Structure 1
Amino acid sequence: MPASPHEALHRIFQRRTELLSRVLRNELGMPVPDPVKVEIMNVDLTDLEPVSRWVDSLLMLHYPDRQVIVAIESQTNKSDEKRRRWARYVAHLHDIHKCDVLLIVTCRSAATARWAEKTYAVGLPEWDTLTVTPLVLGPTNVRAILDRDLAAADIHFAILSAVVHARSQQANAILEVLSDALRDIDEQEAVGLAEFTESGLGRGRARDIWRTLMATRTYPYISELRAKGREEGREEGRAEGRAEGRAEGRAEGRAEGREEGRAEGLAEGETKGEIRGEIKSILLVLKGRGLAVSEEQRERISSADAAQLEKWLLHASAVTTTDELLA
């Protein structure tokens, strides 16, 4: 599971290693064959001396007649320091493994992509000792997957497309297509990929859109996600209930008080967890649809009972204002 959009832009190639060859051919126009094997390598390039070299993702492509190491870096902003590191990565890998090295930089920003694709030269103006020219994947050369059949045919590339285009005006359409395509694969795999996508989108409009889709669609894998969220809420509630029960029992100093406290705490905790999940879902749907929620309305939603919350959640995707929902 990625921790950020930074990781999603390179770990997608680890999750489905054969994706790289398709991207090289179809997105970058490189006539490369499919490798016999793709090996995920250790990304630690540290020497015995304390000089650390950590590449975001590192793959080795095994062909019948050669091996090619591919270093994949996801880049958010321009950085001269990263250019120097890329030169060091490439030189180090070429020296240690004695094979060809390819550097790929993935970006969500078109401006950063334009910066990254420029050749970086090490040496004198009259003579370049070393030049590094990355292959760059960004919004200008990674297709926006807007067709459900295309997304279903290559679900991992569809996720890469969604993450790369998270800031574009097409994000809504791309994510709707992706959410539809996920229903055609194994349910458990779809749950994992849906969570991976959410992490990769990062904070912002695209993640709000994705969460709204996950809260309002009725596909089996989305039901599994909701069940998982409810269970997490119940577990939090149980934990709180146990703590409250133990505290109450200790305060009374009686064994029967502790037992009653635990039992009441567990039941109360489960209810609290479910209610907390319903409140979060309603606010998420309203936010994803761009509907304003005042502090007074938020307080009213947060203080409602389970039956009322369930009713509001069913209608949250259809109303045009928050006032209409709470009427």
Structure 2
Amino acid sequence: MVSSPHEAMHRIFQEHPDLFSRVSEVLGVDFGPPTSVTVRPTDLTEARPLERRVDTLLRLETEDDGPLLLAVEAQGKKDPDKPASWAYYASYLLTKYRLQPILLVVCQDRATAEWAARPVHFGPRQWPLLTLRPLVAGPHNMPVITDPAEARKDLALATLSAITHGRDPDIGAILKAVTTALQDAPDAVKNPIIEFISQGLGKLPAAALWRKLVAVDLSFYKSPLFQEVRDEARDKGRDEGRAQRAAEDVLAVLAERGIDVSEDARERITGCGDPEVLRRWLRRAVTAPAAEDIFVVD
């Protein structure tokens, strides 16, 4: 199943295709900015029933190198079968479009990135027929952007940096720099960036931090993520209110029956946030000979 980080790592190039020239510059390869970009179909399926689909495929028009085909692959883990698939993509694209292909692999962990960056030779060792050399962007070579001014200069690169550094110890400062940079950006710019980073962080612990920063730093922003965060906060507040009322009911019943409630028991009742548990305690409070008896496990 395709994960949200997988989608974010390659789809950002569809939203910001000129990002490739900045990424290639970071990687030490000189590809000038494209003069025009065309999104191409990603289906590389053959006539026979064998599906091969590249993640993102773009045609880049450049002044120095002419038209190029950029295939972007998001790779979440090491896969010994991938290099052969990537070689097939390159050969197929060259054959179909008669344009020179480039493969950019985007990774979220260093081990996978270093694995993907190794040249792979196809053919006998005495005379390799093909050599696969993808460009690889990952936490080992993408810039760590913690300065809001730097993030503001290139929001697309800052977005990719945040995604690829999702496990970095400095991820808090990285995400804070992005939200600070986005505060003055128009909604049309904020929307895809907030969603890309949310998808890109997936289930990493940093995803929860990102949601909080969006809610606090961009509190007036009405993106789908913000709406989700706001709804969760509203639901949490509603649950807390129900729990507080249920705790008050338990204490009221015990007081009405003249049952003494120790400080420890009172703290346990008022500190419980589970309305279902409190309802169970309320039922027991009607007949329990002592306050502590409502806590007895059935």
Fold agreement, TM-score > 0.5: yes
For 1:68-217, list aligned pairs within 5 A.
68-217=68-217
User: Larger deviation: 79-88 or 181-190?
Assistant: 181-190
CA distance in 1, matches of 2:213, 2:11: 23
CA distance in 2, matches of 1:281, 1:57: 45
- The verdict on how the C-alpha distance between 1:131 and 1:224 changes in structure 2, with shifts beyond 3 A counting, is closer
CA distance in 1, matches of 2:91, 2:159: 31
Shift of 1:165: 0.2
- SS of the aligned residue for 2:73 comes to strand
For 1:1-327, list aligned pairs within 5 A.
4-25=4-25, 27-64=26-63, 66-217=66-217, 219-221=219-221, 228-229=227-228, 275-276=234-235, 278=237, 300=273
Contact kept, 8 Å, 2:180 with 2:217, in 1: the verdict is no
Q: Number of residues paired by the alignment?
A: 248
Percent of aligned pairs sharing the same letter: 33
- The verdict on how the C-alpha distance between 1:106 and 1:51 changes in structure 2, with shifts beyond 3 A counting, is same
CA distance in 1, matches of 2:200, 2:74: 12
- The verdict on how the C-alpha distance between 1:281 and 1:36 changes in structure 2, with shifts beyond 3 A counting, is farther
- SS of the aligned residue for 1:124 comes to coil
- The verdict on how the C-alpha distance between 1:302 and 1:60 changes in structure 2, with shifts beyond 3 A counting, is farther
Shift of 1:296: 7.7
The runs of 5 or more residues in structure 1 that have no matched partner are 234-272, 283-294, 304-327
Cα-to-partner distance string for 1:86-110 (whole Å, 9 max, x where unaligned) = 1111111111111111111111111
Contact kept, 8 Å, 1:230 with 1:277, in 2: the verdict is no
- The verdict on how the C-alpha distance between 1:275 and 1:172 changes in structure 2, with shifts beyond 3 A counting, is closer
Cα-to-partner distance string for 1:62-101 (whole Å, 9 max, x where unaligned) = 1246211111111111111111101111111111111111
- SS of the aligned residue for 1:87 comes to helix
Cα-to-partner distance string for 1:155-209 (whole Å, 9 max, x where unaligned) = 1111100000000101111001111111121124313421221111111211011
Over the residues paired in the alignment, what is the CA RMSD in angstroms? 2.8
**Runs (4+) off by over 6 Å:** 295-298
Larger radius of gyration: 2
Cα-to-partner distance string for 1:15-36 (whole Å, 9 max, x where unaligned) = 11111112112x1122222222
- The verdict on how the C-alpha distance between 1:154 and 1:190 changes in structure 2, with shifts beyond 3 A counting, is same
Contact kept, 8 Å, 1:9 with 1:163, in 2: the verdict is yes
Amino acid at match of 1:300: G
Cα-to-partner distance string for 1:292-325 (whole Å, 9 max, x where unaligned) = xxx988852768xxxxxxxxxxxxxxxxxxxxxx
The runs of 5 or more residues in structure 2 that have no matched partner are 242-267, 277-298
Contact kept, 8 Å, 1:103 with 1:135, in 2: the verdict is yes
